[in-house]
């Protein structure tokens, strides 16, 4: 289970790409893809290099003005766990 101490990044087989047809960013992996909403895109863009979940939450929350940080952290963790459940993340636990 991913927590704020874990370090995460996109797995090697996953690519973040912009889909001109839909106008949205997509995480591509063999045979499938995930079309992201803007918040998901912001998180995915930060997953291109290995960093701690705590740092990732700070970076995301710093750009959010209308939502408590605790809510952002909860949402980011849930999103990361959903990606991890699909095998799309490399996770280093401390």
Partner 1 sequence: MSWETPSFVEINMN
Which residues bind to partner 1, rule: CB under 8 A?
26-28, 31-40, 42-43, 63-67, 71-72, 75-76, 78-79, 82
Which residue number, 8 or 43, has a Cβ lying nearer to partner 1? 43
Contact (CB, 8 A) for 48 and 56: no
To partner 1, the closest distance from the beta carbon of 17 in angstroms equals 11
Distances (CA, A) of 35 to 1, 21, 23, 28: 24, 12, 10, 9
Tokens coding 6: 């874990």
Our CB check for partner 1 shows the closer of 16 and 94 to be 16
């Amino acid at each position: 289970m991913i927590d704020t101490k874990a370090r995460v990044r996109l797995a090697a087989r996953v690519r973040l790409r912009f889909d001109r047809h839909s106008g949205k960013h997509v995480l591509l992996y063999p045979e499938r893809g995930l079309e992201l909403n803007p918040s998901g895109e912001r998180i995915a863009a930060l997953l291109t290099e290995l960093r701690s979940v705590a740092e990732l939450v700070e970076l995301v929350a710093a750009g959010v003005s209308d939502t408590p940080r605790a809510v952002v952290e909860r949402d980011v963790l849930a999103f990361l766990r959903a990606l991890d459940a699909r095998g799309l993340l490399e996770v280093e636990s401390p």
